[in-house]
Amino acid sequence: MEKLLVRAVRGEDVERPPVWLMRQAGRHIPEYREIREEYSFLEAIKTPEVAERITLLPWEHYRPDGVVMFSDILTVLEPLGFDYRIESGVGPVIEDPFDGPSDVPDDYAAIADELDYVGALLERLDDAVGDETSLIGFAGGPFTLASYIIASGSSRHDEIRQFRARHPNAFASLLDVIADAVLDSLQYQIDHGADVVQLFDTYAGELAPADYREFLLPLHRRICAGVDAPVILFVRNMAGRLDALADADPDAVSLDWTVDIADARDELGDIAVQGNLDPQYLFGDESFVRAETEQVIEAAGPRGHVLNLGHGVHADTPMENVRAFVETAKNWEYEN
């Protein structure tokens, strides 16, 4: 039988909701913080044995139904010609800053060459736990990656919308070439062991609705249709526009915590949903975490639901609450 997470994403009958957490391999785990004293973030993601060790930390602690490779939504930037570094307090910064429409790349370097460390990581994970849990690959989406290319710092989703207003053709070309590279990267991950892939176009909800439909939707459709494994699509702040995400035809939509998950089920029809507990709820007491998690599971209903947070786990989250969250799903039995 297929793995639980894959079946749930496909909307097949399942006994209980599978569970994993976005950013589960991260700062809330003490061993992660220890490893990161030795390796920078980029060193860690580019060194398969280190990335494997980090990926498996939440597996060892919580045994989730999905293990998400420890990597970065931005890895595709390098094959596109935009090397980057991580600057403290700012986040990712492009080494050679984008200089306007003439800097839109025509093409990108071979994914298998540039992102070989991602393939190597997935092969190691497949050997280590590939039979026991689902391996989840991912990439940033075109709008989100374009935002990082255009500008640094917290105003980047403002800057990219300004670029859209000033240079609509260059904006469209930039998104287009990124989409091709993202599609190749996701298929490469699937070829190397990923069971499911998630497309994080986190910032795309910042676009006006007509702009999402004009510029992004065709690219999201192309990516969802172009890969040989189930695709989960995550965009923040799309409550009220779930119909547009449905038109991208992903296997599942990952919902942030500002969406009522029962309403989302009604709007999305046969498309599965993932989510959507507020990550900040994991700072409440354990009984609160269990009760709120149960409520999400009940509101989502049986089949077609992957339990997750509405965004990534925060750094200081108490591990016992992450455990309570995972256990709530693992102990659940759908009534039939």
Of residues 218 through 257, those in contact with a second copy by CB under 8 A are 237-242, 257
Query: Binding residue for a second copy (CB under 8 A) from 278, 286, 294, 327?
Result: 278
Q: Are 96 and 80 in contact (CB under 8 A)?
A: no
Query: Binding residue for a second copy (CB under 8 A) from 18, 64, 205, 230?
Result: 205
Annotated catalytic residue, options 27, 290, 303, 323: 27
Asked if 148 is an active-site residue, the reply is yes
Number of residues lying near a second copy (CB under 8 A): 35
Q: Are 278 and 261 in contact (CB under 8 A)?
A: no
- Residue 307's nearest CA partner among 267, 336, 334 is 334
* Ramachandran angles phi, psi of 86, nearest 5°: -105, 120
* Nearer CB in complex with a second copy: 117/288: 288
Annotated catalytic residue, options 32, 62, 108, 148: 148
290 exposure class (CB count in 10 Å sphere: 0-12, 13-18, 19+): middle
Instruction: Name the pairing type of β-strands 272-277 and 66-68.
Output: unpaired
Cα 103 to Cα 92, 96, 141, 162, 277: the distances in Å are: 18, 10, 19, 16, 40
Q: Which stretch binds a second copy (CB under 8 A): 37-45, 77-85, 140-148, 200-208?
A: 200-208
154 exposure class (CB count in 10 Å sphere: 0-12, 13-18, 19+): exposed
* Nearer CB in complex with a second copy: 39/283: 283
Separation of first and last alpha carbons in the chain: 20
C-alpha angle with apex 224: 151 to 120, nearest 5 degrees? 75
Q: Are 323 and 287 in contact (CB under 8 A)?
A: no
- State the binding string over 143-172 for a second copy (x if CB under 8 A, else -): -----------x---x--xx-xxx------
- Contacts of residue 82, defined as CB under 8 A and 6 or more positions apart, other chains included, come to 94, 95, 96, 98, 149
Annotated catalytic residue, options 23, 53, 164, 236: 23
| String of DSSP letters for 121-143 | HHHHHHHHHTTTSEEEEEEE-HH
Annotated catalytic residue, options 72, 184, 201, 256: 72
Q: Are 253 and 261 in contact (CB under 8 A)?
A: no
Least Å distance, CB 208 to a second copy, is 5
Query: Binding residue for a second copy (CB under 8 A) from 13, 209, 269, 320?
Result: 209
* Nearer CB in complex with a second copy: 188/203: 203
Annotated catalytic residue, options 10, 36, 213, 221: 36
Least Å distance, CB 216 to a second copy, is 13
E strand map for the chain: 66-68, 84-87, 91-94, 134-140, 196-200, 231-234, 252-254, 272-277, 305-309
* Nearer CB in complex with a second copy: 70/281: 281
* Nearer CB in complex with a second copy: 169/336: 169
Q: Does 284 bind a second copy (CB under 8 A)?
A: yes
Query: Binding residue for a second copy (CB under 8 A) from 52, 281, 304, 328?
Result: 281
Instruction: Name the pairing type of β-strands 252-254 and 272-277.
Output: parallel
Q: Are 138 and 45 in contact (CB under 8 A)?
A: no
* Nearer CB in complex with a second copy: 53/164: 164
Least Å distance, CB 335 to a second copy, is 23
* Nearer CB in complex with a second copy: 66/92: 92
- State the binding string over 256-275 for a second copy (x if CB under 8 A, else -): -xxxx--x------------
Supply the residues annotated as catalytic: 23, 27, 36, 72, 148
Which residues bind to a second copy, rule: CB under 8 A?
154, 158, 161-162, 164-166, 205-211, 237-242, 257-260, 263, 278, 280-285, 288, 310, 314
